[in-house]
Amino acid sequence: MRILGVDPGSHATGFGSIERVAGRFVHRCHGVLRPPAGASIAARLHYLHTELLAVSRAEAPDAVVVERVFLAANPRSALILGQARGAVLASLGEAGVKVVELSARQVKKSVTGTGAAGKSQVQAMVTRLLALAEVPAADAADALALALTYAQAGPLADLPMSTRRRSSRQAMTRLVMERLP
């Protein structure tokens, strides 16, 4: 099983791919797509679409996990984030891959044990869980954390917290801890 995580953003879109090898998940690749700063919005979104389509096709994941949007943002930032998500999701539709969404809170909780974890905590835990030689950039770490959470919780991760049984959540957290080196 191969899983690609994507954290869409207009300035930086993180991606990270992991794969199950001999019963555990190993790192395949990660990166951050940064559209050319001086380009038009159409050119920037085209860049995101094209680059992520290339990544999706090269990785051919069984599932792509995209961060679910936290809706407390104001309309302007929601619109700008929506545009980046639109280019990203259209490319995933073109690649024909399965797309699931997880909230940042679910991912932080699963990877670090607390839904209120900061970026550096997520970066540190992703580095440990995947035994990386270097700490990935924050956006790439978020993408790898999305993939890890889905990899470990499976279809359960796609459900709202309230509809899951407490035991399932505990099992998910335990799974994460067991994979620590």
Alpha-carbon distances of 126 from 44, 65, 113, 122, rounded to whole Å: 29, 16, 12, 6
- Strand ranges for the chain from DSSP E: 2-7, 13-21, 24-33, 63-68, 99-103
Of 89 and 141, nearer to its own copies (C-beta) is: 89
Among 19, 51, 139, 142, which one carries the catalytic annotation? Answer: 139
Which one, 40 or 170, has the nearer CB to its own copies?
Answer: 40
Choose between 74 and 162: whose C-beta lies nearer to its own copies. 74
Q: Are 10 and 44 in contact (CB under 8 A)?
A: yes
How does strand 24-33 pair with strand 13-21? Answer: antiparallel
Catalytic residue among 19, 51, 59, 67: 67
**Three-state DSSP state, 181:** coil
The least CB distance from residue 75 to its own copies, in Å, is: 4
Binding site for its own copies (CB under 8 A): 40-50, 69, 71-76, 78-94, 97, 99
Shortest distance, CB of residue 102 to its own copies, whole angstroms?
15
CA distance 23 to 83: 38
Residue 158 annotated as catalytic: no
Residue closer to its own copies by CB (options 13, 123) is: 13
d(CA 178, CA 113): 13
Catalytic residue among 7, 19, 59, 142: 7
7 is catalytic: yes
Catalytic residue numbers, as ranges: 7, 67, 139
